[in-house]
Structure 1
Amino acid sequence: MTALLWPYSTPGIPDDLFERLPGIPLTKREVRLLMLSYLRMEASSVLWDVGAGTGTISVELGLLCPEGKIVAVERDEEVAALIRRNCDRFGVVNVKVLEGSAPECLESIDDRPDRVCIEGGRQVREILKAAWSFLPHRGRVVATASNLENLYALSATLAELQARNIEVVQSALNRLEKRGVYQTFAAVDPIFILSGEKL
């Protein structure tokens, strides 16, 4: 099935190829590409994808880094099952789905990360601090914020943790859409992407 759905060795799987559930966020393809570039994965990297949602990041990296290990953390049982189904759709076998609430469940993960992806959430400060404690020297974290409160919490926490090489970008994307007989550009919700490295 992998070859039928996404037979390419590059990232950027179209959003509509993923199975979705109403109300469950999906990281849009263009934002996903930015996040993947900031994660700077290596062939055998271990990634924790915290708040994995639909599982788009986990699936993309599972395909790009087949020797790596990805742990997709999701607290909701139904959403965790969705991630597993999306992994099956693309033939991804190196993603382990952990059902649990972060940051409390992070302690139970056997494979320690060298990359962490935090996709929103209510406790971003606590999740970032907890995940940071497991990262090795030169480990990287990439986090997203869709509101100013999370942007402030993440940037202040990265500063508190003395992260180096901090980068912050805001996506500003428009997609061509057909509306009736016309084609028009529609804005994709802007997302802040923050990244940093552990000393």
Structure 2
Amino acid sequence: MRHFFGIRDEEFIRGDVPMTKQEIRMAVMNEARVDEDSVILDVGAGTGSISIEAALGAPKGHVYAIERFDKGIELIQQNMEKFNVSNMTVIKAKAPEGMEDLPELDAVIIGGSAGQLGNIIDEAQRLLKIGGRLVVTAVTMETGSAILKELKGRPFEYHGYQMAINRYRKAGPYHLLDPLSPIFIVSATKVQGEETIG
């Protein structure tokens, strides 16, 4: 049965580890163009919410999830069990470590880089097939700016935008808007040649 992206946040086991929210996950999955046989890498996987969505959307493919913290690894494994996901490999490493022996990829999603964004994109560029997708999210302006700087001069066509989500919250007989932190999303497609088209 086809998976429709956007699992409710409350369904994930998350503890106190930051998690990409439902509406953002839906946008990221769309930007990554996840297909039923896609091979995907999620860098900085956290609770595994992105990885789980990708694995459910690619039942004939495979997802690699890189996470450096033990707490995150445990949560990813718990969520894999909860959502009955078996087409996923969890790698405990600080990227770009852990990316060396991966197969050719259809999509790379970067949600956390721990100061290694340039080196991670180097490896993503090497691993992505022509036409493969790179999707990077950032919650700080500094990281949002760094993404654009890193993509210049690389063989990628890219675009970016900021998402600001406000959810309804009941207040007696009324509804208020409950804002989530704005997030930057930059999406790039690997193309042949050395020139980047922004």
TM-score by length of 1: 0.89
Match of 1:113 among 105, 110, 113: 105
Segments ≥4 residues shifted beyond 3 Å: 178-183
Cα distance in structure 2, aligned partners of 1:148 and 1:124? 14
Match of 2:189 in 1: 197
Shift of 1:132: 1.4
- Choose between structure 1 and 2: higher helix proportion: 1
Cα distance in structure 2, aligned partners of 1:95 and 1:179? 41
**Structure 2 gaps, min length 5:** 192-198
Match of 1:186 in 2: 178
Match of 2:169 in 1: 177
TM-score by length of 2: 0.89
**SS at structure 1 position matched to 2:65:** strand
Which residue identity lines up with residue 64 of structure 1 in the other structure?
G
Shift of 1:184: 1.3
Which residue identity lines up with residue 8 of structure 2 in the other structure?
P
Q: Which has the larger displacement, 178-187 or 28-37?
A: 178-187
State the aligned residue count: 190
**Structure 1 gaps, min length 5:** 1-6
Shift of 1:181: 7.3
Match of 1:4 in 2: none
Q: Is the 8 A contact 1:120 1:146 kept in 2?
A: no
Match of 1:95 in 2: 88
Q: Deviations over 1:126-149 (max 9, x none)?
A: 211222111121111000011111
Cα distance in structure 2, aligned partners of 1:9 and 1:96? 19
Match of 1:50 among 39, 43, 46: 43
RMSD between aligned residues: 1.7
Which residue identity lines up with residue 168 of structure 2 in the other structure?
L
Match of 1:85 in 2: 78
**SS at structure 1 position matched to 2:36:** coil
State whether structure 2 residue 42 is matched by structure 1 residue 13.
no
Q: Deviations over 1:39-75 (max 9, x none)?
A: 0122211100000111111111211210010001001
